Chains A and B, each alone.
Chain A
Amino acid sequence: MPVKIPPKKGLSLGVVGFITAFGIAAFITEQELLLVWIIGIALGFVLYRSGICFASAFRDIFLFRDFSMARVVIILIAISFVGIVIIQAFDTSGGFLEWVYPVGFHTAVGGVLFGFGMVLAGGCASGTLQRIGEGFILFWAVILGITAGSVLGVYHFSWWKNNFFSIDAVFLPDFIGWIPSIVLTLALLGGLNLLAMGIEKRNNSKNGLTEKDLAEKEVKSNG
């Protein structure tokens, strides 16, 4: 049995101390911020323990033919979708329309640059924060890069929006109706999930391994 090396007590106390102190300060500023702070801590905790990384979801498809993380992202989107549709249904003020942003050529350019950048850096935006929390000095440089790039992006945004195709926010239910939009979203997410599962299965059988083989191997190595 490998011996578990004990945690550094001083460091644990320091982290817990800061979390408490900032929580109190946030609560004094605005009560709701304490709730946001707790949700933020929970997000970080879950991200670390489960090892979810959005950059790897897209990168590992191509580098390692691994679709497991991509499927987690689909699950995350589907769950968020169900919850948000319910919120949208009960929200009569239409405040949720603020989450719907313009779309156009700038969205496509932004997507390509973001996708390329996150693979180079080794983490997307949440991954960068996550790795700072894990102690990577490198990701302090990455976040400085993100900050500088963001300023430039805000500065150039109007040029991209004015000179190329762009339309104001497209909220799908306004165009095709609520039911078709909900059905379409769920169908696309489900279809992508099935596609990922299908390719994964084909890859396994290419390696000469079926799920049954993998299960047998597991039993053998346990014995």
Chain B
Amino acid sequence: MSRPDYLLFDRNTTALIYGMQTKAVQRMLDFDFCCKRDIPSVGAMIDPGKFGSHKVFWGKKEIFIPVYPDIKTALGNHPDIDVMINFASYRSSFDTTMEALEESQLRTIVVIAEGIPERLARHLREVAVEKKKVLIGPATVGGIAAGAFKVANTGGTIESIIDSKLHRPGSVGFVSKSGGMSNEAYNIIALNTDGLYEGIAIGGDAYPGSTLLEHLLRFEANPAIKMLVCLGEVGGEEEWKIVEAVKSKKITKPLVMWVTGTSIKYMPKGIQFGHAGAKADATRETAEAKNAALKEAGVVVPESFDDYDKAIKTTYERLVKEGVVKPVGEEEKPPVIPMDYSSAVAQGLVRKPTNFTCTISDDSKEELIYAGHKISKVIGENYSVGETIGLLWFKERLPKWAAEFMEIVIKLCADHGPAVSGAHNTIVTARAGKDLMSAVASGILTIGPRFGGAVAGAALMFKDALDRKLDPDEFIAEMKKKNIKIQGIGHRIKSLKNPDMRVVLLKEFAARNFPATRLLDYALEVEQLTTAKKDTLILNVDGCIGVLSVDMMYGLGWSEARIKEVVDGGGLNGLFLLGRTIGMIGHYMDQSRQKAALYRHPWDDILYDLPPLVE
């Protein structure tokens, strides 16, 4: 699509965005929608090294913008693109801009990055001049062709854009260094004229890719632009070139201009205003000298910025009177952009029911919180592992004795050698070459009624018996009658005379630290009766953990309902699960250190007892 040299952007311009600047792209498309453009102004994006696509809103609808790994591929697929907006960082902007300058298809390149070294920026400018391309920036927000095309984040929010009537063209061309002030200028122009036609911010660097004058000359050549407005700056020679251009009649359209920085002479020596270029080293470069020279050359220069709006208004009204411009009549309203869900939420305009509820931890705040305790408090006050478990399982900070009990249980359950089903499965899985998660998961999956699960089972049975005030002998009789094995009772080899050290330790700890051990005492009475029948029918470690866990909850003063909730919910198995995971991880690491080969169970250890062969 060929456009005259003076015209960088129109309603059909499409751009390539270098960098995944998704917000900027959405803002460009929202602008397009307000301008009732037929096609989106972003043709493609570049995510270095990656092919893909990016989803954006086009009004209410969602569309895909193709993503390419490099400039050449993107342009090859989109022959209509003639603008590139380069969002690469200051470190890589030079190289990517140089690459873009080599592409004959591109006419305009906008460089957003701030902090590109001056020598490199100057080099880019020279190459652009040589290749007859327009380089806007570096260190710029870009520019805007009202009602046609918006560069990246120019103009601010869509509300500001509509307030400044940028969704439809007027007849004023504006150029300045500052991006922030160009926004203000568009507002001033909207308030005092028929609106902006095109506005460019060339960026605040010492060596901008294109100059104030070059853009003014483009505006001069564009018949749709009737009036020029410019904001200059202290420092540099650029404004003097404008003086020359006006004197030599290269600029003939009315130009309203003000050079900022008149206060610099009242500042201490060496103060640097916001822009790198804004520093006057010689009298010629002061704002006063430039304003005076511009005025003398015939430019409309106000007395101060305070009269800038009036100067623009007067000049515009003169053009109306002369019939050069026709004021706009009834303004057409731009289509409304649907509000983003996130902004609607932020403004409290919408609500929706939640699908999830969480009552234990919160990552949505500035700091992670466990049941009302900030992570900085948990670490700062050195909460023990037991206390941390208390927060996440029971939503309260447990007293020391209870937290310590949980830790003892975890330590006791941490491992029980390689032969038990959990560890065995972990080892076999590890040796099959699976990863840590799979190996440990396969071990965990064996935990249940027969392996490890007796903790919860024992707690349930003993508690139920005690609650029903059954005497130990009545309890044993009832279970026998129902033919149910009492969980937590019985060991393969241990007996009263040869006790399990783990059970001894637990009982000792409980005796010293628990306020009371009602259920343990009850279980021990049961044990007296069962061991009388067979000396290995002792209260085993699972049983002991189970009943003491219930005693712990009694000791914490929890209600029956709350205790029942924990016991019925199988929560006590969690203690075994948590503890044993430590061992399973250990077994996985052990096997993987050994580089143990695939395990195959020997045939001679299997009884093959199949039905007879069918002939």
A binds B: no
Q: Which residues of A contact B (CB under 8 A)?
A: none
B-side residues, CB < 8 A to A, are: none
